[in-house]
Amino acid sequence: MERRTFIELLGAGTLLVPPLACKLRGPIAAGPTNLNGIPTTCELCPNKCSLLAVVKEGRLAKLNPNPENPKSRAMLCARGNAAIQQVYDPDRLKQPLIRAGERGEGKWRPVSWDEAFDFAANKLKAVKEKHGPEGSLWSSTEGFQEVFFKNLGQAFGSPNVMRHPTLCLASMTLAYSTTFGTVPSFDLLNADYVIMAGANRFESIITPDTMDLIGGTMERKAKLIYLDPRFTVTASKADEWHPIKPGTDLAFILAMLNVILTEERHDKAFVETYTLGFEQLLEHVKPYTPAWAEKETEIPAADITRIARAFADAAPRAVFYAGRRSSWYTNDFQMRRAQAILNAVVGNWDREGGMVPNRKVAKGEFTFMPWDDPKASRVDEVEKAFPLANAKDGVYLPLRENVLKGTPYPVKAWMIYKQDPMHALPDQGKTLEMIQQMDFVGVVDIAMSDTAWYADVVFPESHYLERTDPIEVMPGIWPAAVYRQQAVKPLHDTKPMLDIAQGLAKRLGLSDYFDYTIEQWVEAEAKELPVPNGMEHMRKHGVVGFEKPKYGTTRNAVHRFVTKSGKIELFSERLQEAGHDPLPVYTAPAQPPANKFRLILGRKATITHAALTNLPWLHEHNRENDLWIHPEPAARLNIQTGDLLEVSSTAGTVKIKARVTPEIRPDCVFMLHGFGKKSAWLRRVHNVGAADSILLETAWDKVSGNAALHETFVKVGKA
Amino acid sequence: MGTKTKTKRYAMVIDSKKCIDCKACVVACKAENKVPEGVFRNWISVERSGDYPKLRMTFEPEQCHHCDEPSCVRVCPTGASWQREDGIVLVDYDACIGCKYCIIACPYEARYHNPETHTVDKCTFCVHRVDKGDLPACVETCPSKVRVFGDLNDPKSPLHQLLATRRHEVKNPQTGNGPQLYYLL
Amino acid sequence: MREPVWEFLIVNYLFLGGLSAGLYFVSGLATWIQDRECKPAYPALARLGALLAPWPVSLGSALLILDLGKPLRFWKLFMHVRWRSPMSIGSWLLVAFTILSLAYLWSWLDDAERRRWIGRVPRRAYAMLPAFLRAWLEADGAPRRRILALAGLPMSVAVGIYTGVLLGAVQSRPFWNTNLVAQMFLFSALSSGAATLVLLRFLSKDRPGLRELRFLYGLDIILMGLELFIVLPYLIHGNLSSLAVKEALGLVMGGPFTFAFWGVFLGLGLLAPLAVELWEFKPFLLGRGPFHVNPRWAMVAGALVLIGGYTLRYVFVFAGQATGF
């Protein structure tokens, strides 16, 4: 009741959308729900679902979905449910550790926090004295307390704060923001026609997209066209699955554009009003006919034509979904740009069932003492090499190359938060080399990751259910601000990242930058939430979200897109100036030589990145990874399911069992991420299966610097 | 008139086409019911067919069918397996001697020998939640809302309406158990 | 294929329960049939069967209890009578059968033996028994033998059937779910009793006489004939039945249990001993005087019947659990 009135008040306040503009279909919160529990926010993947933690006698009993978050669609996935096991995991990091043997030998000395802080601070100070603050690297993956880690690195004076996007979605975000000035969301709940290329949305859960697509395609019979070299769960649910030749998605999209533009099926009024460069685009796509694309993609020209027409006819309730799982090829940016252009010309921009610019929930900011900008420039030389990329996030693989070469200057201390570069980066051998050339490596994590296994000091962070975190805003069609509050007291001698930052800051003489508590920080944020008594509301509900989407706010003559021209840039002058193709130009990808295969990657709903494979409830469903290989090459190589294989690339060699399956193209092989761990404290996956990062070669997208993960060819044979 | 006093009959509708084999229901059940490693109260069976590139893969969530004529209850020598008036089939863990006859008698493989308690165990429809007015854990947590739980005798329940308007089937009706998991076609 | 939850302990239990039933049945018949002097026709056979009958079933019940997840709770079986549960009925039946078979055993003891056994019981404990029971224990059992034998006939048939019904009454296992299983198990149980007695009579000091052997052979041939009479319809009818039954039968018709079923049970355990016994019987059957008595062959036949009976239960327990709809 209370929540209803509140949401309605918000709706009434904006008055831009007619009521019931989008009624959620399907039983999104069917039946009664249990609101007994401490509202908090999941941390097991980047979706940040709202949940209610049921605590009995000081122990976590169950985590239930919190239906109040419109983005998380009243669900909690397998991983979310398994978070309890992380807390009570006997293999968990329980107190600070200092390395006692060689790096990677697994000999540890449990120490007090004071000793760990002193040890790390002395090492950091020594590096600073010798190499300056820029001699330290601070890398992290996203998380609510990442801000404190980053701040520590910046306050320390290092320009080398390295975030995760270039191992993630940097090429996609750059491509869409180059075109639209912003990265939109896709209204899969209301779309009639959806094309997904390699975005395995039913195995790689993204809220609310996964849930909306199931509701959408299954209950509304909206078409789902799916392109993937692998027959995934998404492929099995799609109306059409096309096992496209890897690396040719751009050809497919350009041919779709060719059909739509030459047949004048695009949204002329929209293109006229909102876009720039249509004439160049029309000229540009002329050679890219479906007949030409058939040769590249191995998808019949007739299918491409049919799909292009149906897509244009269904617009604006038609979307070519962006996808977000890293980059695949070195031309990834241009492929995503072509998607953006295709979406633009059919006029699905900011329409129900189309592509919608993200809305945000307002929140306050805590003001802390600012520090001076670093004097040195970044070691990855991002401004020079990737002028369009987000310089603050850095570019990970070029950074590793420079650190290994020692140019433009040496980097000798590496602090890592919540990230496992040993698995997150391709070419584990190089990462190991990078670790070995460091004078000091410190890791903050909740479990002994492979990177932590090679560190000098390991700081155990409190589990998310044991701590209170800053408020996080998740933009989207159904935006939400979520709060993570402590559900149980820390079980072991662990600390939240803020306390760890403070402990180090004190010894590094940086305490002034961290003279606040998490409560003060959160209260400042909660003050400006669009609800009365924001703090109290968050404690009681854990989330502020908007249930009703707003469409069309940017579809008016006065709206200025955040691009150079203020319009949607089909043709991009910025790209041209930076020395890139202003319109996506296709170059055929290299093909694996005879007897080699392209190694492709993908995700599963029970694993997040390379983590969680050690949790019993999840491990039960993924005991070991294997190498998918098509029956035809398997017969040629005399390989049967269960055979131990030796797989090698120029980066490394692994041994892994075979899975002979028709669910993959004959020219590709596939393996799951998250196995073959070196850390003996991940006992279920220690030396079980194989790590893809050993095989993957170093390659990146030319424009964004994003790691390109499908550029590796491997040799496969019986071990 | 009579419906008011009519007793409840709990049942479940399963829309398998929506199932994405994400295992949320399986893990939620394990957490809710403290199910030991290696045994399961619910699971998802996978069926594959076809030749590249014409392939098919379908998923079906399974668990106890809370049958109308439960063979497990019939064969139990001690009365440990029993059925509530609302149809929920339960095991009285204090009365169970662990003879495993019910495991054999169940046509749906829904029962298992609990390696920790040494009694037989199975899905309870989360009776402890249902009795408080909540949904079973698997139903609530499901990302694609494959399962709909409710009272068969309540004409206003979404479950009743789905069964009235959608084609559906039950598994192995020929065993005569009267299963109460309804799979939408 | 599904994992079995009932394994060898249950196989042993079904076999031993059936064996006791067979021993009691054969001994009972041998007691009940009288010669012209109104005395048991085959006293040595009857006494041997009576002395053996209670023990296999007791051992089998102990194994069943050990197979329980909660063995210490076995007494809960006797807190209820659940007439729709074969196991509940069977548990009561086994208790009644065991008590009856012990009473029957007691009746076959002579005075000295009875006194020796009573003498082993501490006097104080013995004195606590009710007077009628003490009187019963001390009295000569001979007059009671016939009535106990008679009472034992339906009881052993019931136990023999029960071991089959336990499986046959499970409608979710098409391999089991036919009334023929109960009868197959019954005849197999009774013939295993007869075979045990053949084996042991030849091992005992006083070799069996021709008349006794004729009785035993005749009985065994009839029982094995009946068993064959059940097994063949079971296979034929199963193959003509619904798909689930047919598929279940596939386990023995070219599946993992084919050798055990055809080779060991049917060939070695049924047809071979039947052939041996018929061959031994041949002169008698053809009216050419007394039959051969080759103790070695007779003992081989007896052993084969026991192996066959055990294999039958092994195949049924494991194959049945692997089947379903």
Return the pLDDT at A217: 62
Residue pair C76/C82 in contact (Cβ under 8 Å)? The answer is: no
**Residues of chain B contacting A81 with CB distance shorter than 8 Å:** 24, 27-28, 30-31, 141
Domain that holds residue C175: 8-322
If asked whether residues A394 and A514 sit together in one domain, one would say yes
Residue from the list A606, A616, A631 with its beta carbon closest to the beta carbon of B23 = A606
**Residues of chain A contacting B26 with CB distance shorter than 8 Å:** 78, 621
Mean pLDDT rounded to a whole number for chain A: 93
If asked whether residues A272 and A156 sit together in one domain, one would say no
C-alpha angle A691-A694-A696 in degrees, rounded to nearest 5: 105
Closest-CA residue to A684 (of A16, A91, A30, A43): A91
pLDDT tens digits, A439-482: 999 999 999 999 999 999 999 999 999 999 999 999 999 999 99
Residues 6+ apart with CB under 8 A from A101: A107
Lowest mean pLDDT segment, chosen from A7-16, A426-435, B13-22, C82-91: A7-16
Domain annotation covers residue A82: yes
How far is Cα C172 from Cα B175, in angstroms, rounded to an integer? 6
* Start-end of H helices in chain C: 8-32, 43-52, 54-67, 86-107, 111-120, 123-127, 131-138, 142-168, 179-203, 210-239, 243-249, 258, 272-285, 295-322
Give residues 160 to 179 of C whose Cβ lies within 8 Å of B. 166, 169-173
Domain annotation covers residue C3: no
Residue pair A627/A671 in contact (Cβ under 8 Å)? The answer is: yes
Domain annotation covers residue A443: yes
Q: What is the complex's ipTM, to 2 decimals?
A: 0.95
DSSP structural state of residue A461: B
If asked whether residues A124 and A259 sit together in one domain, one would say no
CATH number assigned to the domain comprising residue A412: 3.40.50.740
> Which helix (H) or strand (E) is A173 found in, with range?
helix A170-180
User: CA–CA distance from A487 to each of A61, A65, A269, A383, A592 (Å)?
Assistant: 11, 15, 53, 43, 51
Closest-CA residue to A35 (of A19, A14, A51): A51
The chain C residue lying nearest B117, using CA atoms, is: C69
Return the pLDDT at A89: 94
If asked whether residues A145 and A247 sit together in one domain, one would say no
Residue pair A616/A684 in contact (Cβ under 8 Å)? The answer is: yes
Phi-psi region of C294 (alpha: psi -120 to 50; beta: other; left: phi over 0): beta
Closest-CA residue to A397 (of A374, A370, A426): A426
Give residues 537 to 556 of A whose Cβ lies within 8 Å of B. none
The number of folded domains in chain A is: 4
Residue pair C141/C135 in contact (Cβ under 8 Å)? The answer is: no
Domain annotation covers residue A590: no
How far is Cα A200 from Cα A672, in angstroms, rounded to an integer? 13
Closest-CA residue to C212 (of C197, C229, C230): C197
If asked whether residues A648 and A569 sit together in one domain, one would say no
Lowest mean pLDDT segment, chosen from A2-6, A571-575, A631-635, C156-160: A2-6
Answer whether A56 touches B (CB < 8 Å): no
- Min Cα–Cα distance to chain C from B117, Å: 8
How far is Cα A531 from Cα A179, in angstroms, rounded to an integer? 34
Give all chains having 3 or more CB-to-CB distances under 8 Å with chain C: B
pLDDT tens digits, A249-269: 999 999 999 999 999 999 999
- Min Cα–Cα distance to chain B from A631, Å: 9
Answer whether B154 touches A (CB < 8 Å): no
pLDDT tens digits, C265-296: 999 999 999 999 888 888 877 877 777 778 88
pLDDT tens digits, C109-165: 999 999 999 999 998 999 999 999 999 999 888 889 999 999 999 999 999 999 999
Domain that holds residue B123: 2-184
- Min Cα–Cα distance to chain B from A233, Å: 7
* pTM, two decimal places: 0.93
Residue from the list C74, C172, C244 with its beta carbon closest to the beta carbon of B105 = C172
DSSP 3-state of C168? helix
The number of folded domains in chain C is: 1
pLDDT tens digits, A197-210: 999 999 999 999 99
Q: Is C179's pLDDT higher than 60? A: yes
DSSP structural state of residue C269: I
pLDDT tens digits, A648-672: 999 999 999 999 999 999 999 999 9
Return the pLDDT at A323: 87
Q: At what angle do helices C179-203 and C210-239 cross, to 10 degrees?
A: 150
- Min Cα–Cα distance to chain C from B1, Å: 36
If asked whether residues A401 and A498 sit together in one domain, one would say yes
If asked whether residues A442 and A497 sit together in one domain, one would say yes
User: At A602, which amino acid appears?
Assistant: G
Domain that holds residue A211: 185-356+552-577
Cα A464 from chain centre: 19
Give the pair of three-digit tokens for residue C185: 């198990």
Whether chain C lies against chain A with 3 or more Cβ pairs closer than 8 A is no
* Residue carrying the six token digits 């066959």: C308
* Residue carrying the six token digits 């939109």: A184
Give residues 58 to 77 of A whose Cβ lies within 8 Å of B. 62-65, 73-77
Domain annotation covers residue C91: yes
The sign of the torsion formed by the CA atoms of A339, A341, A346, A350 equals positive
CATH number assigned to the domain comprising residue A334: 3.40.228.10
The number of folded domains in chain B is: 1
The chain B residue lying nearest A230, using CA atoms, is: B53
Return the pLDDT at A563: 96
If asked whether residues A43 and A111 sit together in one domain, one would say no
pLDDT tens digits, C182-200: 999 999 999 999 999 999 9
User: At A688, which amino acid appears?
Assistant: V
Closest-CA residue to A695 (of A625, A590, A611): A625
B174 to C82: CB separation less than 8 angstroms, yes or no: no
Answer whether A87 touches B (CB < 8 Å): no
pLDDT tens digits, A306-315: 999 999 999 9
DSSP 3-state of A370? coil
DSSP structural state of residue C267: I
If asked whether residues A484 and A401 sit together in one domain, one would say yes
CATH number assigned to the domain comprising residue C115: 1.20.1630.10
Count CA atoms closer than 13 A to A529's CA, side-chain side: 31
Give the pair of three-digit tokens for residue C262: 């055809």
Answer whether B145 touches A (CB < 8 Å): yes
Return the pLDDT at C1: 52
- Min Cα–Cα distance to chain B from A124, Å: 42
